[in-house]
Structure 1
């Protein structure tokens, strides 16, 4: 399974929504606290791009040499229509400063020095050491996950539904009583789906690949193998 540090790093560098929570921005609209871009520096610091007149920039500028505490809250929502679409959240807390000279005119880059990291997602809940976060890398499939999951749901729905044959018998009277199977999450280690049984109960299932995949080409082979196993 991906480590908690890798999962958090993936969320930071993905397109999931992020909001910066900090003092001194009372009355700011939620969209004013959402950075236009996020990236992670070599030492694990998180760089956040904002318009130069955004409330977080004003707060960081006003703080100057003082330590301005801040929390970057990330919310990961499934890119396909499934019940309970929030797949996870992560919080990176630390100290915010301006990083002038990096952004283009009209923008300002803010630097979040990470002190604490916490993640709560489909794998579980836990804290992440900032050094582990700094040394981790995002999942290689993350840039393509949204498109891949939407493609699986739209073009390969029957094959995804067929994965129910790999889940074993959930009813004493016959085949697995699974009404619907929807792709939920994808990473280099495997595919997670959300299932609804005939009684309306929801549960998730995980299908691990024979070996971790490093790119989309490897994923195609892994998915082909998985679909073949379901048919056989």
Structure 2
């Protein structure tokens, strides 16, 4: 998941949105909450200091869509409140990779908690998959994750002809839908994802690259092949 929003669900309280959230590769997480958040009292009062929760992470599209969420990751696990020294150390570790001014509130109106993962479920338009912490730990960032937002924003704003050319690779039922708008949804080493906004309903479609794309130059080549070549299949 690339950024997005987070919230605790299934706690018996209204969904709790952290001031700061940072999920590590193995699914463990560091969360910072306002001291007034009701779930904190439940965490402190939990037997053994562990409180069962589900952390919901929403992956937002890099361009402004009418339905911005393109994927959800739910991590089920246990929350606990670390000691003050450990909390400060965790906050510094988060600040090194994800600077956020709210981290300065730790101990001054905000409390840091840790999440130990038990299992996870990833869901998007392409399907749903159950994941163990070892699966999350084995995953590696996509080579284009840091460039996706500016690339797709530029594609939509400056190159509508490219999106029009990609339309011929859509399934016939979507290709011929009157009034449909083609929007860029995502790009990764496997292909480009498009959101087809139709009247009253949206459809997400992945168009796979014809070949390998692990570098910027390879991605340019693969995009060129999709744009200039006829549809790969009807």
TM-score interval (norm. to shorter):
0.7 to 0.9
- The alpha-carbon deviation at position 16 of structure 1 amounts to 0.9
Give yes or no for the alignment of 1:17 onto 2:20. Answer: no
Look up the match of 1:53: 35
Look up the match of 2:97: none
Deviation sequence 1:126-159 (CA, Å, 0-9, x none): 3222321222123222232222221111111111
Look up the match of 2:98: none
- The alpha-carbon deviation at position 93 of structure 1 amounts to 0.6
TM-score (norm 1): 0.72
Give yes or no for the alignment of 1:76 onto 2:76. Answer: no
Look up the match of 1:193: 194
Q: Structure 1: which 5+ runs fail to align?
A: 1-10
Give yes or no for the alignment of 1:164 onto 2:167. Answer: yes
Matches within 5 A, 1:105-116: 106-107=105-106, 109-116=112-119
Q: Structure 2: which 5+ runs fail to align?
A: 93-103
Any conservation in 1 of the 2:11–2:54 contact (CA below 8 Å)? no
Look up the match of 1:3: none
Look up the match of 1:67: 50
Deviation sequence 1:33-85 (CA, Å, 0-9, x none): 224131315xx242224157363555544548322112110122323244543
- Structure 2 CA distance for aligned equivalents of residues 177 and 183 of structure 1: 17
Any conservation in 2 of the 1:188–1:214 contact (CA below 8 Å)? yes
- The alpha-carbon deviation at position 114 of structure 1 amounts to 0.9
Look up the match of 1:224: 224
Change (3 A) 1:143 1:34: farther
- Structure 2 CA distance for aligned equivalents of residues 112 and 152 of structure 1: 38
Equivalent of residue 147 in structure 1, options 150, 158, 176 = 150
Any conservation in 2 of the 1:167–1:176 contact (CA below 8 Å)? no
- Structure 2 CA distance for aligned equivalents of residues 22 and 88 of structure 1: 19
- Structure 1 CA distance for aligned equivalents of residues 200 and 59 of structure 2: 24
CA RMSD of aligned residues (A): 3.3
Partner secondary structure for residue 146 of structure 1: helix
- How many residues are paired up? 209
Partner secondary structure for residue 65 of structure 1: helix
- Structure 2 CA distance for aligned equivalents of residues 146 and 208 of structure 1: 19
Deviation sequence 1:80-121 (CA, Å, 0-9, x none): 244543312121010112342412564254321111211220
* Range moving further from structure 2, 160-169 or 112-121: 160-169
